[in-house]
């Protein structure tokens, strides 16, 4: 097995590593949303709806549903990181979905009947950043593993 094939198989391509890291971050955030201390007023964590008074890091409004959305994104990122093409799709489509959640949040904040996830203004800014960031990562992160100059020159010899 060549060094390049071994690197792709075991270490993953840059796009796979990126999707895996994003998935792990979502996993940590999803778990943190259930942990008192990291989630202020965790005892007021509701299943869903604007009535949930729990705030991750004291800033981001969360509910059980909101935490499960993070966990679902985590599982998707971790699973799809196994393939380069799927990793890119995860980042771009996931980013687009977060932009939809951002748009939803723009109309849901202040409207308790619509705000079922729930979200607040801080969540909206975060969702905008996540959406744009994930799409940019999906577009610009390289698919192929980097080959070092010393490794590259040894192939020519």
pLDDT digit string (tens) for 12-37?
A: 899 999 999 999 999 999 999 999 99
Task: Count Cβ neighbours within 10 Å for each residue of 115-143 and write b for 16 or more, e otherwise.
Answer: bbbbbbebbbebbbebbeebbebbeebee
Range(s) of the domain holding residue 63: 3-141
pLDDT at residue 45 tops 50? yes
* pLDDT of res. 149: 56
155 within domain boundaries: no
* pLDDT of res. 151: 53
Find all residues with CB under 8 Å of 48, minimum gap 6, and list them: 63, 64, 65, 66, 116, 117, 118
Peptide bond into 118 cis (omega under 30): yes
Q: How many domains does the chain have?
A: 1
Q: Tokens standing for 81? A: 């990181």
127 within domain boundaries: yes
148 within domain boundaries: no
152 within domain boundaries: no
115 within domain boundaries: yes
Cα–Cα distance between 156 and 151 in angstroms, integer? 9
pLDDT at residue 143 tops 90? no
29 within domain boundaries: yes
* pLDDT of res. 147: 59
Helix (H) or strand (E) holding 61: strand 60-61
Which residue would you say has higher pLDDT here, 153 or 102?
102
* pLDDT of res. 6: 45
Q: Measuring CA to CA, how many Å separate 33 from each of 117, 146, 152?
A: 13, 36, 46
| CB-based contact 52:68 (threshold 8 Å) | no
151 within domain boundaries: no
106 within domain boundaries: yes
């Amino acid at each position: 097995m060549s060094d390049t094939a071994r690197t792709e198989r075991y270490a993953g391509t840059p796009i796979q590593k990126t999707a895996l890291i994003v998935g792990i971050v979502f996993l940590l955030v999803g778990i943190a949303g259930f942990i008192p201390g990291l989630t202020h007023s965790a005892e007021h964590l509701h299943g869903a709806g604007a009535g949930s008074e729990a705030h991750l890091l004291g800033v981001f409004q969360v509910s059980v549903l909101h935490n499960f959305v993070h966990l679902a994104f985590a599982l998707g990122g971790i699973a799809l990181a196994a393939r380069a093409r799927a990793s890119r799709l995860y980042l771009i489509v996931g980013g687009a979905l977060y932009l939809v959640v951002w748009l939803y949040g723009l109309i849901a904040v202040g409207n308790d009947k619509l705000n079922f996830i729930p979200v607040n203004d801080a969540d909206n800014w975060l969702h905008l950043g996540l959406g744009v960031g994930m799409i940019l990562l999906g577009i610009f992160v390289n698919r192929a593993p980097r080959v070092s100059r010393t490794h590259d020159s040894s192939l020519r010899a």
